[in-house]
């Protein structure tokens, strides 16, 4: 295995490219080419790709190598359902208010992810927070498509943020988060189609 000071930046660089849609779903990820592009040896690239396979962001098949994970409608709905279940659990057990408001300059998708991670962190359950962080990574690319599917995506995020930040009645935040996930589950087919068409912003 490669030293951490080499593999961690390599892993983060590849992961960021996956999260921002640099490669289309199903694209072959060739270790040698990635190594050349990143200025590292093949070993940390392979280590990173195996790690990302374990995180379900890359697929590996013996004899065929590594490929960008191809998200299905069923998988997206399952991810959204799990995210919702974990967030509702975190809301029910959170301690104190939510984290500080996200910076206005932050990318909207990162703002939503930061809010959800903040809710999980306030639960005091480190495993729950880690699970939400992992789901944030896997849902990041679909969240980049939100504004193409929902004209009110920015306002929706602001409403969720306000409900969490102002620490109002828990039912308000819970209902907003429930609606957020339901709307996206209903559009699962559209997300998958748009990903296949490589319409994700970069």
Show the domains of the chain with their CATH numbers: 4-68 (1.10.10.10), 73-196 (1.20.120)
Mean pLDDT score of the chain: 89
Dump pLDDT digits (tens) for 152-198: 999 999 999 999 887 667 889 999 999 999 999 999 999 999 998 86
Predicted model pTM: 0.87
Could you tell me the CA-to-CA distances from 8 to 14, 42, 132 in Å, in that order? Answer: 10, 14, 21
What is the 3-state secondary structure of 134-188? HHHHHHHHHHCCHHHHCCCHHHHHHHHHHHHHCCCCHHHHHHHHHHHHHHHHHCH
pLDDT classification of 109: cutoffs 50, 70, 90: low
């Amino acid at each position: 295995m490669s030293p951490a000071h080499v593999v961690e930046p390599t892993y983060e660089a590849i992961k960021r490219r996956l999260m921002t849609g640099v490669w289309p779903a199903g694209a072959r990820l060739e270790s040698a080419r990635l190594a050349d592009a990143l200025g590292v040896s093949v070993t940390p690239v392979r280590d990173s790709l195996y790690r990302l396979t374990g995180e379900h962001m890359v697929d590996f098949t013996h004899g065929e190598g590594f490929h960008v994970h191809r998200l299905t409608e069923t998988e997206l709905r399952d991810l959204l359902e799990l995210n919702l279940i974990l967030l509702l659990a975190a809301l029910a057990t959170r301690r104190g208010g939510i984290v500080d408001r996200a910076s206005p300059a932050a990318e909207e998708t990162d703002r939503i992810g930061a809010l959800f991670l903040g809710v999980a962190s306030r639960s005091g359950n480190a495993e729950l927070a880690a699970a939400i962080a992992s789901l944030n990574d896997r849902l990041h690319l679909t969240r980049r498509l939100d504004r193409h599917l929902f004209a009110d995506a920015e306002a929706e995020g602001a409403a969720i943020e306000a409900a969490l930040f102002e620490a109002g009645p828990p039912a308000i935040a819970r209902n907003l988060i429930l609606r957020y996930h339901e709307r996206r589950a209903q559009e699962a087919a559209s997300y998958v189609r748009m990903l296949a068409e490589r319409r994700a912003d970069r």
